[in-house]
Amino acid sequence: MRKLMAAALMLCAASVVAAQTPAPQPDPASPNYQATGEQDKSYVFPGTDEKIPYHIYVPKKWTKTTKLPLVILTHGANQPATAPFQRPMNDPTLAKTAEERGYIVAAVTGYHANATGVPTGDGPSGWNVPYKAMTVPRPPRAAGEGAPRAGGAPGAGGGRARGPAAPPATAEDFKRAEQDVLNVRELMMKEYNVDPNRVYLMGNSSGGTAVWNIGAKYPQLWTAISMSAGPIDDADFPYEKLRNLPVLVVHGDKDTTMQFEASKLMVDHAKAKGVPVEWLPVENGMHVDAWALPEIMKQEFDFFDAHKTKAAAKTGTARRPAARKGSAKAKVG
CATH of the domain at 190: 3.40.50.1820
In a domain, 232, yes or no: yes
Those residues of the chain that have pLDDT short of 50 are 1-11, 13-19, 147-162, 313-327, 330-333
In a domain, 142, yes or no: no
Given this model, what pLDDT does residue 139 score? 78
Given this model, what pLDDT does residue 142 score? 62
Given this model, what pLDDT does residue 141 score? 65
Total count of domains within the chain: 1
Rounded CA-CA distance 163/233 in Å is 32
Q: Count CB neighbours of 187 within 10 A.
A: 20
In a domain, 301, yes or no: yes
In a domain, 226, yes or no: yes
In a domain, 143, yes or no: no
Given this model, what pLDDT does residue 310 score? 87
Among 70, 62, 17, 8, smallest CA distance to 35 is for 62
Beta bridge partners of 41: 54
In a domain, 100, yes or no: yes
In a domain, 288, yes or no: yes
SS3 182: helix
Q: How far is CA 241 from the centre of its chain?
A: 17
In a domain, 271, yes or no: yes
Rounded CA-CA distance 199/189 in Å is 9
Element (H, E) at 265: helix 260-272
Residue 157 is classified by DSSP as T
Structural domain range at position 157: 2-137+148-329
pTM: 0.85
Beta bridge partners of 40: 55
Beta bridge partners of 251: 281
Given this model, what pLDDT does residue 332 score? 40
Given this model, what pLDDT does residue 167 score? 81
Given this model, what pLDDT does residue 224 score? 98
The answer to whether the CB of 81 falls within 8 A of the CB of 88 is no
Rounded CA-CA distance 289/286 in Å is 6
Given this model, what pLDDT does residue 165 score? 67
Q: How far is CA 25 from the centre of its chain?
A: 22
